[in-house]
Structure 1
Amino acid sequence: MAIYESEHTKFMREWMEKHPQEIQEQKKGRALWWDKPQEVRTQASYDASSVPVKAYYYDTNH
């Protein structure tokens, strides 16, 4: 059974094979936007200070 692969995926796979230097650029971009160091204390503080949400947000009687 053949696995479907879109034209875009095929293009990107071939393009990355022809331009291996772009892997480093891709990693730098990911580090810029996504791979951030996490602080356990800060996250615990955020979790502790969160306010529970009402079951029905627009109910003004409760």
Structure 2
Amino acid sequence: MSKPTIDNYESEHTKFMRELFAKRPHLIEQQKEARAIWWDKKVNQEELKRFNESEVPQKSYVYFDWLQK
């Protein structure tokens, strides 16, 4: 067996996940569904615009306000 190099190295976790998905292909779809709960959401442009417009600028170095007094 040859030593792993950067070109052919595969972590134990990556190997485990690849083998798991090969044995149980239905998990791929379940993973996508679970990811969609928190990620891959469409952005509401109106809400994003309102959020950006309501931002209040913060003074830099707020922890050093005592220097300005």
TM-score by length of 2: 0.77
How far has the Cα of 1:37 moved from its partner?
Answer: 2.0
Number of corresponding residues: 62
| TM alignment of 1:1-62, pairs within 5 A | 2-60=7-65, 61=68
Higher share of residues assigned helix? 2
In 2, Cα distance between equivalents of 1:59 and 1:32: 41
Residue segments in structure 2 that go unaligned for 5+ positions in a row = none
In 2, Cα distance between equivalents of 1:4 and 1:46: 44
Identity within the alignment, %: 45
Which is greater in Rg?
2
How far has the Cα of 1:35 moved from its partner?
Answer: 1.9
RMSD: 1.6
Higher RCO (C-alpha 8 Å, min separation 6): 1
Residue segments in structure 1 that go unaligned for 5+ positions in a row = none
Deviates more, 1:52-61 or 1:19-28: 52-61
TM-score by length of 1: 0.84
Structure 1 stretches of 4+ moved >4 Å: none
